[in-house]
Structure formats: structure tokens, C-alpha cells
Chains A and B, each alone.
Chain A
Amino acid sequence: MAAERIETNTTSPTPRSANLRALLALVDGLFFTLLAGVVFLVVIHWLVVDLRVMPVTRARLVEVHEYLVDQAGQEPTGDLYFLGSSVLLEGVDCTVIDPALPEGTQSYNLALMGAGAPQWMLIADALRQTQPSWVIMTIDLTGVTGLQKIPEEGMAIAEYWNFFTPAAHDRFSKYFTPEQLAALDKSDLASLLDFRVFPIGAFDMYMREVSKPGLRYDGYTTNFKDPWVRKSRVSDVSTERWITDKVNKATAQDQQAMDEQIAMIDELIGWFADKDVRCAMVVAPVNPRLARAFGDAETERVMTQLAALAKRTATPLLDHRTLLSESDYADHVHPYEPGRIKWSQRLAADLGELVTRGHTSTEHATSEHTTRGDTTRGDTTRGDTTRGETTRGDTTRGDTTRGDTTRGDTFSESVPSETGPDTTGGGR
């Protein structure tokens, strides 16, 4: 053990000048530490801004925004954009949906991992400028209750790449915390500091993926068509652990989080409507194991609020909660291959109908009814199989339904005859 070298204090004071000179001993230490900070900022700019070395989740956000900005400069294509979380990212195959859409209409999966309405707000302005014909908001029930605040790095991205125009800032500022708003007002230099975690996160993600045959995430930040494919299911015990964790984390604050998120969706619907962009909401399939853990009361509570929102804004609401069975999932929330095929086919059928026929309601919400583990719908042709209706999740049916026994009538059942073709995309 090295001897400690310390000059202990004495009874006689030394002059102030001597003390001041002693302080100079700290100068080189502080200087080189801070110099490292400056060099770090240069390096981080090169890595993150120029080379886009960042976790795939963040890179995806930047890429989606850039894609939208790029599209905004062109003629409106009348395309259909999906917004959602990783459940959508892994659960929907746009190439299955496109054939069901009117000719020339394409669907794009703009899902962001861990995203809900707050994250959609980040790209809302750019999306609005592109003027798609439809925006389909897929809502993960467990995500609605456990609202994910946008983390510091997400706000830093929004600030650095100018996601927020003044109009978007004014529109959405009430939904952000003072800290989040402060992040939007940061200098680029300060945002670079927030990017410091990106290369590390990218490294970790890369290391995890190279151990598998073929990179799972390779090229997927710019892929808005094909689904993100999982290599394997997680273990059963692990799924159970995630579910327990999820249920444990559900708190009394969830009600407030849900209110907040529904208010944000409401705001988004209105904002898109201003640009003639029509919206629909799809309640994503919920793993029956997770649904059981949360209990029916929890999901019904959310559904009631969503149905009220749908009715108020005349936005179609498709309830796909019970579409998939346990074996259709890769883990506690994400659909695996069979689940992805089923859900994509269901969406193709439902959205094909919706987009083809147009949506004419000014007063209703559509509730799509399915049986748990409904596997009879594995077709891409509409109107050819029996639907297997149940009343589960039916929150708005009583007042608008007509002819509900065959599959092709998903939307006819809820289209009020007294209204004409909807040209405003939501009637707001």
C-alpha cells in the first residue's frame, strides 16, 4: 500500500497568494477533463449525426421523420400509414395488406418501438404534411395504461432534427412536462450531450444481434413495409416473468396516464383532420395470458374510453383484442409468425373495406368483434367466411349495427345510412 502523502494543516497561516498559487495544481486536471468533453462532442457529432450510430429504436425515429419530410415535398399519394408500437412493428406485414387496398394505395408501417401517442406527436407534423389518405393508430392496451413518456434522448432528437415546427409546438406543448419542453429549447450542443448514450446502446444492440445468424435489425430502420421478424420465441417462464412485471408496475396512476394518452389521440385526430387525413383506431391483439393477468375490468375500462373517443370524433374503432391465441405470440405482447399472418390478414380485410368504401360516419364508432383465438379468418378475400361474432368488447354496437353475420360487412354494420360520403376523414 502506497504511503499517503498529505501535508497536514499547521497553526500558522500562509499568505493568500500562496494559497491561490496552490489552486493552480487543479488547473491541468480540470483542463484536460474538459478538453476530453470537447473532443467527445466532436466525436459524438460524427458518430451520431453523420454516421447514425445509435440504437435502432432511435435511428428508426429519425428515419421515419426523414421519410415523412421527404414525402411532404411531393404530391399526396393517398397512402395509408400505420402508427403504433413494437407490437405493430412485429405484428403487421404491409405486403399482405396492400393487395386489399384500392389500386395505387400503399400501406406503410411507421411504428416506433415503445411508442404511444406522445411519440406519435413527435412525427405528427411531418406526417400531416405528407397528406396520406388514412392514418391507422394501432393501440396496445397495455401501452395505453402504462404511458411511456418521451425520454430525454427522444426529445433531444426532436430538437436536433427540428421535428417541432412552431405550429406543432403550440399544439402539443400542453402535453409535455416543463423538462420536456426545456429539452426542445436546448441548443444543438446540449442535445449532442444527450446523444452520448447512443453509440453505447448501438454497440450493445449490435453485439446482441451478431450472435445470431443474420442481423435481426439489419436494414430495418428504413424498412416501412416488411415486418420485423423475430428469430425465436422467448421462453414460457420468461413470458410469465414479463407479465408479472407488467402487472406489478400497473399503478393507480394508470388511469391518469390513459386519460392523457386518449386526450393526445383526440388531439392528433383533430390535427390530421384539418389536412383531410382520415384516422382509424385499431386496438391491437392482446396476449390472452396478459389479458387474464390484467383482468377484464382493466381492458373494458380502456375500451369504454376509446369507444367514447371514437364516437365523439366519428373515428372507426377496430377491436382486434381477442384475435390471437397464446401460441400466436413470441413473448408477452409481440405477435410471432402465425400471429403476424393472422393479424395482417384481418387488417387487410378490415382496412380494405374501410378504404375502399370510404368512411361516412359522423356519429359512430365501429367495433369489430372477434372470438378469442379466432383462427377462421386466415383469408385475404373478404366476405367469404363466417365471423363468429361475440359480444366481447362490444361497446358501441347497439345503436348502429346492421347485417352482422358475414364477414364482408365489417363496416357496413356501422355505417349509418343517413350520412353521405365522408370527405373530412373524421367529421371534426
Chain B
Amino acid sequence: MLFQTLDFGVLLAVVLVLIILLRTHSLQLFMLLAASYVFYMWWNPLYILLIVGSTLVDYVSGFRMGLREVGDPKRKKWLWFSVLTNLGLLGTFKYFNFFAGELNVGLQQLGVTAALPYLNVLLPVGISFYTFQSMSYTIDVYRGKTEAERSIVRFATYVAFFPQLVAGPILRSTDFLPQLRGKVINLKAANLRSGFHLFLNGLVKKMLVADQVGRLVDLIFDLPQGLPSPIIALGAFAFAIQIYADFSAYSDMAIGVARMMGFHIPANFRYPNFSRSISEFWTRWHISLSTWVRDYLYFPLGGSRKGIARTYINLLITMLLMGIWHGAGWNFFMYGLFNGVVMVIERATRWRTAIGDPDPWGMTLHGWAKARVFAVSAFKWLIFMYLRMLSCIFFRVQDTQDLIYSVKKYIFFDFDFTLGSWGLAQANPFLVAVITGAFILLHWFSYRVGGFAGWLDERPATVRWLIYFAAGFALFALWPSERVAYIYFQF
């Protein structure tokens, strides 16, 4: 079920009405779980068994670990049971066919005729999200960071909470389970309005920006061979906008819907496009995943505590996992590797010192100091954007030959500016240009005010009404004819 469909509107309306009708904690919890399962089954009823299976395994594992003291070796067995089951699900549904294919090609080249069979399965929507979410719980229980959850309904609701089930943000049990414990959902005007603003913000980003720009991206990268460098760069830039607008839109809408019900979900993005290094970017982009791999992989590997060489290796391993988390393909491997290598270089050259600067663009400064800080940041930003766009090519172009061609064209720029001859007209390029321009301005404004939706919360009614009207008008005018799923659903 997509957020932008009438189906979801009806589901949300029903949930809100039921929240009002059911005034006890346990009934509301059951209702939320049922709504979450309906939400998922709308896509494929059978695959709910995967979520239920994963939930049961992790619930039992957590429960059994909770019966023993921290440090008891039997806890580790249950942890392995949980981790292997979840990774097994991921491996089977997401990676098996890729590895089978690669292995078969390798065997063929060695003259071996035997081949691994392929699995005829659909990739379950959002499998990487809910398995990682579920796994984080068992790891936290094992570490003693959270108590084992006794209520199976509560735990199942945490795993399958519908606003963020299929594309995140990935919730931590330490953040979310306490919000489900004994609390009754009371609808509050401030929450509903604020949640609505976030939802509207996300809807506009998805329908007016991501889906419109995406047509141009598809036109370029579905068949990049033969295209000159400026078009490839245009495609990379457009994809950088598309993927941000698409993914952050989903996060906004998920957080907005949860907020309508009084639940807090942490932000998944902090203006990553204003980063000045790839290292900084990863502290602002898909935060729920980057913190997940930091806490459950990078730190356990030793993080930066075991010397420089080991730090670099840990960084590379972490970023590689981050890359292949997105999917089974060499392009995702390259995506992770590229980001890892750049981060290692940035760390070695201390380029990443930009992280944590409270005023990186000198907005609070004046005169010469402001100009100097701004100029330095702008210079770093240009380098960052060049690298970010290159990493976008790795992410978007899955065919190896097309990827090699696109990367070559991007790096060895040919300055062929015959833009009018490449059939891009089908993607309404002038409309895309206008939309992109408007998005960049609004994005900058949002960055300056610390979030457009939050800014809107505090505006007087007349301003809000004007913005509702403008957003509504734009949505009616530009709503795409075709329904386009979110890019991150495939992960």
C-alpha cells in the first residue's frame, strides 16, 4: 500500500476513528498490529508469514535471553539463532539468486556444467528494513541494553508498525517499545496538525519532485550508452535529487503518520545535500541505517579505537555492508566501496573535519568572516557534489556495461553539449528544470528555518491556508498519471 493512494487514506482514517472508539491500551495495540498486517498484506498476503516468522523467532530469542543473566553463554546461542534466521531470510530472498547467477557464470567459465538452480521468489517489500529492526532488538537484549519484551503483541507491533514498515526509518527497540508500553493513544490537535504538515511535505516531495524528475533519470540511465558526458552528469544530478526527494518523502510521511498518533520516530535525514564531505553526508543521510551499522558493525569491529589501519579497514567493511544492504548487484558493491574509499581518504586528509560544525555556512556571521566561511564551504560542497553524483551513478545504473560507460563519461568529460538531440523531450525537461529550481529554493529555505513542516506548525492560520492551497493546487496539477512506488521499497 502506497502512502499516496486512496487505499492508504482510508486505512489511516479507519485507524484514527478506531483510536477514538477503542479507549484501552490493549485494544489499541491489537488494532495497530492488525492495521500494520493489513498494510503489508495489501502488497502480497502470503509474505506476511515472513514478518510473522521473523517476529516469532526474535520474540522467543529475546524472551529466552531475558531469562538469563547478561554474560550467560546460552544467551549467545539465542542471539545466533535470531541473527542467522534473519540473515537467512535476507540471504534467501535478496541475495541467493545473485550469488547463484555469479557462481554459475564462474563455473561455466571453468567448464563446469553443473549449475545452482534459481529461486522463483519475489523480493519481499521492505525485508531489509524489518529484519534489521528486528535484529537490533535481539542484539540489544543480548547486550543488556534493553529488557526482553514480554508481550508478543507489543513486540509484533514494534516490528510491523505500519507507517515505517516497508521503507523505514529503522526503529530501535530502545526508542519505540517504551512508547507502546501501557500508553493509550490520545489524539492531540498539535500532533495531528504537525503530522499532517510532515505528511504534506513528503507528499509534495514525492509526487511533485521525485516522480517528475525520475522520468528524466529513467530516460537517461535506462539506456546510457552513446550519451555524452553532460547528459550523464545531468542524469546523476537529477538522480541525486530524485532519490533524496523520494526517500526523505517516505520518511517524512512515516514520521508524520506516527506523529498523528502521538508516536515519536527519529529523523532519518538532516539535509544531507548541504554536506561538505562524504563522511558528513553519511551522518545526515538515512541516519537510522548509518547509526545501525555504526552501532552493530563498526563499533563491534573496533571502530577507530584499534589504530589507523584497522580504522580504515573497519570503515571499508562497514560501507561495503551499507552498499550491499541496498541490493544484490555489483553496482551496490561498488557504491559501498566507493563511499568507503572516499571516507578513508577524507579521514586520512582530515577533510572530514566539517562534521559537527554548528554553522558550516557562516549564516550567523557577518561581513568578511561570513564570506570566507561561505566560500570555503561552497568549495568543499562542490567537491562533495561531484563525488556524490558519481556515487549516484553507481547506485542507479545496475547493468555493468552501462555502469562502466556512465562512470567513464562522467569522469572523462567530453564537453559535448548537443543537448537537444537525445530524445529527452519525452521527460518534459523544462518542467523538470522549473521543478528542480523550485525544489532547490524551498530546500534551502527549509534548511535555513530548520525544517519546513516545523516552520509551518508555527505560522498563523492564514499563512497555513495559503500554503495548503498552493500545495493542493500543485498536487492536482502535477500528480503523475502513473503510480510510482518508492525507490527504497525494493530494499
Interface residues of chain A, those whose CB is within 8 Å of chain B, are: 1-14, 16, 18-26, 28-29, 32-37, 39-41, 44, 151-153, 193-194, 196-197, 199-201, 203-205, 207-208, 234-235, 237-238, 240-242, 244-245, 248
Contacts and interface: CB of A to CB of B under 8 A. Distances in A.
A199 B477 CA distance: 9
Interface stretch (B41-49, B62-70, B450-458): B450-458
Interface in B184-231: 184-194, 196-197, 200, 223, 225-227
Nearest to A1: B450
Given A29-B196, A235-B418, A238-B423, A204 B186 contact: no
Contact of A35 (B270, B457, B469, B478): B469
A371 B309 CA distance: 71
Contact of A11 (B182, B194, B457, B469): B182
Interface residues of B, number: 66
A32 B430 contact: no
Contacts of B192: 22-23, 25-26
Contacts of B183: 8-11
A39 B425 CA distance: 29
Question: Does more than half of chain B's interface fall in helix, strand or loop, or is it mixed?
Answer: helix
B262 interface: yes
A377 B119 CA distance: 59
Given A1-B270, A32-B468, A8 B264 contact: yes
Nearest to B182: A11
Tell me if A's interface is mostly helix, strand, loop or mixed.
helix
Nearest to B24: A13
B262 A9 contact: yes
B114 interface: no
Given A6-B194, A22-B188, A36-B471, 5 more contacts: A6-B190, A8-B179, A36-B475, A238-B422, A240-B226
B481 A152 contact: yes
B421 interface: yes
Interface in B13-31: 16, 19-21, 23-25
Contacts of B188: 7, 22
A35 B465 CA distance: 10
Contacts of A6: 190-191, 194, 259, 262, 264
Contact of B421 (A39, A152, A208, A235): A235
A7 B223 CA distance: 49
Nearest to B198: A4
B484 interface: no
Nearest to A12: B184
B345 interface: no
B184 A29 contact: no
Contact of B468 (A29, A203, A204, A238): A29
A7 B430 CA distance: 43
B187 A29 contact: no
Nearest to B194: A5
Contacts of A40: 472-473, 476-477
B428 A5 contact: no
Contacts of B25: 11
Contacts of B226: 237-238, 240-241, 244
Contacts of A9: 179, 183-186, 261-263
B270 A241 contact: no
A241 B422 contact: yes
A245 B223 contact: yes
A234 B430 CA distance: 19
B430 A207 contact: yes
B383 interface: no
B84 interface: no
A41 B192 CA distance: 28
